[in-house]
Chain A
Amino acid sequence: MSDKITIEIDGRTCEAAPGEMIITVADREGISIPRFCYHEKLSIAANCRMCLVEAEQGGRPFPKPVPACATPVGDGMKVQTRSRKALDAQRGTMEFLLINHPLDCPICDQGGECELQDVSMGYGEDVSRFTERKRVVKDEDLGPLIATEMTRCIHCTRCVRFGAEIAGVRELGATGRGEDMRIGTFVAHTVAHELSGNIIDLCPVGALTSKPYRFTARAWELTAEPSIAPHDAVGSNIQLHVRNGRVMRVHPRDNEAINETWISDRDRFSYEGLNAASRLTAPMIKGDSGWAETDWQSVLHWVADGLQRVVADSGADQLGWLMAPGSTLEELYLGQKLLRGLGGRNIDSRLRQQDFSGDAADPALPWLGLPIADLEQQRAVLLIGSDIRQEQPLLAHRLRKAALAGAMVGLVNPYRVELTHPSRQLPAAPGRLAAELAAIAKAAGAGGRSSLKGLIATADSGDVHAEIAAALKQAGADGNGLVLLGALAEASPDFGLLKALAYQIADATGCRIGFLPPAANSTGAAFAGALPHRLPGARAVDVPGLDALAQLTEPRKAYVLWGIDPAHDLIDPARAVAALAGADLVVACTAFRTPSLEAVADVLLPISAFAETSGTFVNAAGDWQRFQGAVAPPGDARPGWKLLRVLGNMLELTGFEYASARDIHDALAAQCADRAPDNTPRAEYPVGTTAEAADGTLMRVGNVPIYAVDALVRAAPALQRTPLSAPLHLQLHPADAEALGLQDGDQVEVAQGPARACMPVHVSDDLARGGGRIPAAVPGSGQLGAQIGPIRVAKVSGENDQ
């Protein structure tokens, strides 16, 4: 059989691959066939019958019209999509579909962008012959993100198939038969998946619509502005739908190489935070009588004077400068330029890292290690310290595809991660992660350098280790094995050791190594030089400055915080707040007012949030993606790069004469022209001792929950109401709970150094023994210390006391 065959559609000769469906060929040729149930990313259901066409094969017509989505092409096949017979069939289907569809288009959110409306206009009749009563279907409560109007459902089952095939959780189904058929969960429960919002886009009618957007705008009032999603390192391509200077909703833009046609709920619904009451709308200065609004001119003079005074009195080394890794490339570049212009060198954007011992060995421009789409082709992936679904939902989706295609996905994590595909998980308390990796390295036959040799040789390799090592070796030999380090590894006090072991495993198995950058622009921060040991273009610094943690453990006299809430965005909030409170000057550039900022800062400068500024994000795969501001920042808030430019001018620094964000981008791009991401380490990783928990203590596992990752998400109310947003609690392994005399629901006081916080206990054997999982960046967690570090637990009251 040859590779290509020819068929004829509406008289046009088309090339096709054997086994393709008629509709695929027609779509490629730009011949439109109406459809509802067919979607190129989902399996074929062929249940709406809208795509009926007339076809003949070898001169013999098919006796009936055939569904184009489910009829494979054959050589010499002739297809008529607009013949009398085809049109009759389509018209007939349309009439049946409309029998039970309500005529509520004027009050339907889908109105104006509805596939049923469009197809009905193109292929339906203008008058209905149906005079009987229409059916009514009870609504489903699918949670705070998705609004339902099930009477409008036409049973295409796209949402059902999305759940089974893409999300991997079969929550929706089609129950009942005939007129009683309905789509729902059957037993009332909320749909809880990080990609669930995509069923809003998939639904061809108004049965599933966005709950936060509901009844707020009409499709034709909106202007679509292309943008890049700001919450993870995927860099999903999105569209901001804007009306009257306000982002009304967010939709995905297709980009097969990055986000395919999906976006995560976090990227879809975080826009709500833009209009939160906690937005900072005017520059504010702290006086004797509390916070007072002021004007830009005087506040900038005040800040410039303050910075100059600190530099003059105490030296530029007394400046600490912390920037959120979700800032734009332009902000990061200007930020480091300003600090270094003042003679300072203490700048960092790795806010959730506590072990910086590997800085000298780290690759200059760490990245994912391969293009995002190539994740699907991997045959074996070892994830180290990553709750991937929470951290990078769409990368988790790519890995799921690889796993369903037969890849081995192994995980070494402080807790068992909930996945929707087969995996090999090795949960181990934070101090034991290195031992697990050493066991895999041993099984893979890694000898190890002198310092690692002992650790690897004494490791205890079990069946699972051997299985993971064998799969990695086999995949590595074929060039499609991967070892990935995630956010929980980065937060670990043993990050350097974990990296050393990860490189050992990668070397021994022939696998590639990759990093999962924690934020939208973590990779960009290395390009921009917003790191203590890197200049723009990731060039090495002669004398590195202090890293993010050292700036707080060796307190500075003055700090500039860029897009940071100290209680939530830093690895050790208790220490951060103490260090900042003791400083002479704290300048906070922020889009949101938060209690912890108000407590420690001297001035609050309102900067633009996502969607309000133009800029660039560099995603995990090293793609530079520029975007424009879609709406104006609220009140007196200004795009961050403008603030830095003006401040640079006031400080009379050279090289701040930029007219636009584009100029800044171009200036940095010129310095990065010969730089590409590369994960080759520049030296051997120094190997220290592992951070084992002392007797009587547990190791805290402070994962950052999916909807706590940055200020914008934390201010988005609908996301905060989903089941994925858990309040502060302590999760314990049953054996640890028993040893401490604790039961599910007990109230405990957790002590982390001098820091204290009260919370309820959840007992779960997902957690490894010796760990105590307390989420970071959620309300209440700001009183605690390092995300991963020893804690002591004491019972306050039992569930049934009182």
Chain B
Amino acid sequence: MSFRNAPLAVIHDVDKDTLFTPEIRAEIDRHVAKYPPEWKQSAVMPALTLVQDHNGGWLSRELMDQVAAYLDMPEVSVYEVATFYGMYDLEPVGRHKVCVCNSISCMLGGSEELMQHIEHKYNVAPGETTADGKFTFKEFECLGACRHAPAVMVDKTYHECVTPESFDKLIKKLD
């Protein structure tokens, strides 16, 4: 057998024009256009990101099913992608996402102390949201910012060489 089996396409029994909003559909279509027609499933990651951003930062099962329907793919293939990557959240999140890198460079650079600081000061464990709903604290695999470890990603912005003090200032600036 070969390596490159074209992925299994599944045509869902829904009207695609009823999914998401016209703007989201147009944006997904822009990504779909980058791939050969039989590989439109390749657009699943940007599609999930878009849908997540428009849903307050998390993906419900219904939304994942809609992405599957929109891209003609089996639902479970979408679940596979969404559960694999750390940037997709499958439960409601706070107003912001704070992702602290836990990989080797950041660990050596002090991310463990940083995380302890966050847990104690804000009373939130990795994967949880603060009581006031201000932010969801996530322990993240390598952010790819080793040279200025430890790195923290707040929503979509990178912050490097973060200390407990500079972290508190970052949080204070969030609404």
From residue A420, how far is it (CB to closest CB) to chain B in Å?
Answer: 9
CA–CA, A402 and B61, complex, Å: 35
Structural contact, B3 and A185, CB atoms closer than 8 A: no
Taking CB as reference atom, which chain B residue is nearest A177?
B84
- With A42-B1, A44-B3 known to touch, is A176 a contact of B83 (CB < 8 Å)? yes
Among the 9-residue stretches A162-170, A227-235, A329-337, A479-487, the one with 4 or more Cβ atoms under 8 Å from chain B is A162-170
Structural contact, B79 and A170, CB atoms closer than 8 A: no
Structural contact, B2 and A44, CB atoms closer than 8 A: yes
CA–CA, A552 and B10, complex, Å: 47
Question: What are the interface flags for B4-16 relative to A under an 8 Å C-beta threshold, 1 for contact and 0 otherwise?
Answer: 0101101000000
Is there a chain A Cβ closer than 8 Å to B76's Cβ?
Answer: yes
Is there a chain A Cβ closer than 8 Å to B94's Cβ?
Answer: no
Structural contact, B80 and A175, CB atoms closer than 8 A: yes
Which residues of chain B are near A40, meaning CB under 8 Å? 1
Which residues of chain A are near B7, meaning CB under 8 Å? 164
Structural contact, A170 and B10, CB atoms closer than 8 A: yes
Structural contact, B79 and A173, CB atoms closer than 8 A: yes
Identify B76's interface contact among A43, A44, A172, CB under 8 A.
Answer: A172
Question: What are the interface flags for B65-90 relative to A under an 8 Å C-beta threshold, 1 for contact and 0 otherwise?
Answer: 00000000011110110011100000
Which residues of chain A are near B77, meaning CB under 8 Å? 170, 173
From residue A87, how far is it (CB to closest CB) to chain B in Å?
Answer: 27
Structural contact, B3 and A186, CB atoms closer than 8 A: no
Structural contact, A170 and B83, CB atoms closer than 8 A: no
CA–CA, A173 and B76, complex, Å: 6
Which residues of chain B are near A134, meaning CB under 8 Å? none
CA–CA, A187 and B7, complex, Å: 21
Identify B83's interface contact among A41, A43, A171, A177, CB under 8 A.
Answer: A177
CA–CA, A177 and B85, complex, Å: 8
CA–CA, A169 and B10, complex, Å: 8
From residue A531, how far is it (CB to closest CB) to chain B in Å?
Answer: 43
Is there a chain B Cβ closer than 8 Å to A70's Cβ?
Answer: yes
CA–CA, A185 and B8, complex, Å: 16
Which residues of chain B are near A176, meaning CB under 8 Å? 83-84
From residue A240, how far is it (CB to closest CB) to chain B in Å?
Answer: 30
Which residues of chain A are near B1, meaning CB under 8 Å? 40-44
Which residues of chain B are near A42, meaning CB under 8 Å? 1
From residue B138, how far is it (CB to closest CB) to chain A in Å?
Answer: 14
CA–CA, A177 and B83, complex, Å: 7
Identify A187's interface contact among B3, B5, B61, CB under 8 A.
Answer: B61
Taking CB as reference atom, which chain A residue is nearest B73?
A170
Structural contact, B3 and A175, CB atoms closer than 8 A: no
Question: What are the interface flags for B144-175 relative to A under an 8 Å C-beta threshold, 1 for contact and 0 otherwise?
Answer: 00000000000000000000000000000000
Structural contact, A170 and B76, CB atoms closer than 8 A: yes
- With A44-B3, A186-B79 known to touch, is A170 a contact of B84 (CB < 8 Å)? no
CA–CA, A187 and B90, complex, Å: 13
Question: What are the interface flags for A40-75 relative to B under an 8 Å C-beta threshold, 1 for contact and 0 otherwise?
Answer: 111110000000000000000000000000100000
Question: What are the interface flags for A123-167 relative to B under an 8 Å C-beta threshold, 1 for contact and 0 otherwise?
Answer: 000000000000000000000000000000000000000001100
Taking CB as reference atom, which chain A residue is nearest B7?
A164
Is there a chain B Cβ closer than 8 Å to A174's Cβ?
Answer: yes
- With A171-B76, A185-B76 known to touch, is A165 a contact of B5 (CB < 8 Å)? yes
The interface on chain B, measured as residues whose beta carbon lies within 8 A of the other chain's beta carbons, has a size of: 17
Question: What are the interface flags for A171-198 relative to B under an 8 Å C-beta threshold, 1 for contact and 0 otherwise?
Answer: 1111111001000011100000000000
Taking CB as reference atom, which chain B residue is nearest A41?
B1
Structural contact, A164 and B8, CB atoms closer than 8 A: yes
CA–CA, A127 and B41, complex, Å: 44
Structural contact, B2 and A170, CB atoms closer than 8 A: no
Structural contact, A170 and B8, CB atoms closer than 8 A: yes
Which residues of chain A are near B85, meaning CB under 8 Å? 177
CA–CA, A168 and B11, complex, Å: 12
Which residues of chain B are near A43, meaning CB under 8 Å? 1-3, 5
CA–CA, A200 and B10, complex, Å: 25
Which residues of chain B are near A41, meaning CB under 8 Å? 1
CA–CA, A44 and B83, complex, Å: 23
Which residues of chain A are near B74, meaning CB under 8 Å? 164, 169-171, 173
Taking CB as reference atom, which chain B residue is nearest A165?
B5
CA–CA, A510 and B77, complex, Å: 42
CA–CA, A42 and B1, complex, Å: 6
8 Å CB interface, B13-39 against A: none
From residue A513, how far is it (CB to closest CB) to chain B in Å?
Answer: 31
Which residues of chain B are near A172, meaning CB under 8 Å? 76
Which residues of chain B are near A180, meaning CB under 8 Å? 83
Question: What are the interface flags for A465-509 relative to B under an 8 Å C-beta threshold, 1 for contact and 0 otherwise?
Answer: 000000000000000000000000000000000000000000000
CA–CA, A176 and B85, complex, Å: 8
CA–CA, A169 and B77, complex, Å: 11
Structural contact, A70 and B3, CB atoms closer than 8 A: yes
From residue A137, how far is it (CB to closest CB) to chain B in Å?
Answer: 14
CA–CA, A405 and B133, complex, Å: 53
Question: What are the interface flags for A231-275 relative to B under an 8 Å C-beta threshold, 1 for contact and 0 otherwise?
Answer: 000000000000000000000000000000000000000000000
Structural contact, A175 and B79, CB atoms closer than 8 A: yes
**Most A CB atoms within 10 A — which of B75, B76, B85?**
B76
Taking CB as reference atom, which chain B residue is nearest A185?
B76
Which residues of chain A are near B83, meaning CB under 8 Å? 175-177, 180, 186
CA–CA, A70 and B4, complex, Å: 12
Which residues of chain B are near A175, meaning CB under 8 Å? 76, 79-80, 83-84
Question: What are the interface flags for B49-72 relative to A under an 8 Å C-beta threshold, 1 for contact and 0 otherwise?
Answer: 000000000000100000000000
CA–CA, A42 and B3, complex, Å: 10
Identify B80's interface contact among A171, A173, A187, CB under 8 A.
Answer: A173
Which residues of chain B are near A44, meaning CB under 8 Å? 1-3
CA–CA, A165 and B6, complex, Å: 10
CA–CA, A44 and B7, complex, Å: 13
Which residues of chain B are near A185, meaning CB under 8 Å? 76
From residue B76, how far is it (CB to closest CB) to chain A in Å?
Answer: 4
Structural contact, B61 and A174, CB atoms closer than 8 A: no
Taking CB as reference atom, which chain A residue is nearest B76?
A173
CA–CA, A42 and B5, complex, Å: 10
CA–CA, A44 and B1, complex, Å: 7
Question: What are the interface flags for A306-319 relative to B under an 8 Å C-beta threshold, 1 for contact and 0 otherwise?
Answer: 00000000000000
Question: What are the interface flags for B119-135 relative to A under an 8 Å C-beta threshold, 1 for contact and 0 otherwise?
Answer: 00000000000000000
CA–CA, A62 and B146, complex, Å: 31
Structural contact, B76 and A186, CB atoms closer than 8 A: yes
Which residues of chain A are near B84, meaning CB under 8 Å? 175-177
From residue A214, how far is it (CB to closest CB) to chain B in Å?
Answer: 25
**Most A CB atoms within 10 A — which of B5, B7, B77?**
B5
From residue B105, how far is it (CB to closest CB) to chain A in Å?
Answer: 19
Which residues of chain A are near B5, meaning CB under 8 Å? 43, 165
CA–CA, A701 and B24, complex, Å: 44
Taking CB as reference atom, which chain A residue is nearest B9?
A422
CA–CA, A589 and B63, complex, Å: 58
Taking CB as reference atom, which chain A residue is nearest B11?
A422
CA–CA, A44 and B2, complex, Å: 6
Which residues of chain A are near B3, meaning CB under 8 Å? 43-44, 70
Which residues of chain A are near B80, meaning CB under 8 Å? 173-175, 186
From residue A23, how far is it (CB to closest CB) to chain B in Å?
Answer: 11
CA–CA, A172 and B8, complex, Å: 13
Residues of B whose CB lies within 8 Å of any CB of A are 1-3, 5, 7-8, 10, 61, 74-77, 79-80, 83-85
A-B pairs with beta carbons under 8 Å apart, 29 shown: A40-B1, A43-B1, A44-B2, A164-B7, A164-B74, A165-B5, A165-B8, A169-B74, A170-B8, A170-B10, A170-B74, A170-B77, A171-B74, A171-B76, A172-B76, A174-B80, A175-B79, A175-B80, A175-B83, A175-B84, A176-B83, A177-B83, A177-B85, A180-B83, A186-B79, A186-B80, A187-B61, A187-B75, A187-B79
Residues of A whose CB lies within 8 Å of any CB of B are 40-44, 70, 164-165, 168-177, 180, 185-187
Chain A to chain B: the 9 pairs with minimum beta-carbon distance, closest first: A170-B74, A173-B76, A175-B83, A186-B79, A173-B80, A164-B8, A177-B84, A43-B1, A43-B5
Besides A170-B8, A186-B76, 11 more A-B contacts (Cβ < 8 Å) are A164-B8, A169-B74, A171-B76, A172-B76, A173-B80, A174-B80, A175-B80, A175-B84, A177-B85, A186-B75, A186-B80
